[in-house]
Structure 1
Amino acid sequence: MKRFFSLLVVLIVTAACTGQQTISTEQLFPTTVGSFLRTGGPYTEPETGVESATYAGPEGTAMLQVRFVGEENVDYALNNLPALATNVEPDEALGERKGVFFTYGVTEHAAWGNGDWVFVLTASSDAARRIFIAGYGF
């Protein structure tokens, strides 16, 4: 869980202005995302307000972390990835989403914003990251 600390800090810092959330937890964390099944969560980290769920599929595992930050804070969150993040670059797999792919430690990540929300996906492989994102609606 320590490796997520840097990502959580960014999400917490950007939470200064929060407003009314209009998207339900069920919408953010569907039971299935493409070939992935939700295996844990969703749960909310009490200290940070970050909502998380874990998924497993044939391509590997994925953890999705979501935080309502307000649209004015999304760019800040996306521009303040952990200092040790490598291979930071946009990727066509994100489609219309504004965000980046990156590697942090031994896991593959994607971070993107959608309206007032910031999403961080941690996946066990590049294939898991790409296939999860292709099936995810936000």
Structure 2
Amino acid sequence: MTRPPIGIDTLLDRVRATYTRITPEEAYAAHLAGALLVDIRYQALRERDGLVPGALVIERNELEWRLDPQGSHRLPEAISHDLRVIVFCNEGYASSLAVASLHALGLHRATDLTGGFQSWKTAGLPTTPPPRTP
């Protein structure tokens, strides 16, 4: 039996109801306390807008492979399922779906940044400028 489609807005609401999203200020404080910030924006956005200092850049299509503590392609930072991970995208939509995937892998403390990189930047938190092109 096929279930009727729910639409992306309903899917986001359902996913977000399973965890607590955090503000830029909360994310910054958590990062200073040792949480792992993960930037899943694609390269063109990083080049256009800059980076968050100290954030790991992991393209969305590699996220699960890099953060699964049991995975053969994990990053050295992926040491435990108890790792505090804060994912951000450009505006806070794709990151919510990414968190759902990380939860499915057992990374139960994963969350995302409400409003994404744009809200971080608007809050005046540290960023590095995009590289200059000749």
> Normalization by structure 2: what TM-score?
0.25
- Which has the larger Rg? 2
User: What TM-score do you get using the length of structure 1 for normalisation?
Assistant: 0.24
Q: Going by fraction, where is strand more abundant, 1 or 2?
A: 1
Q: Which structure would you say has the larger RCO, counting Cα contacts within 8 Å and 6 or more residues apart?
A: 2
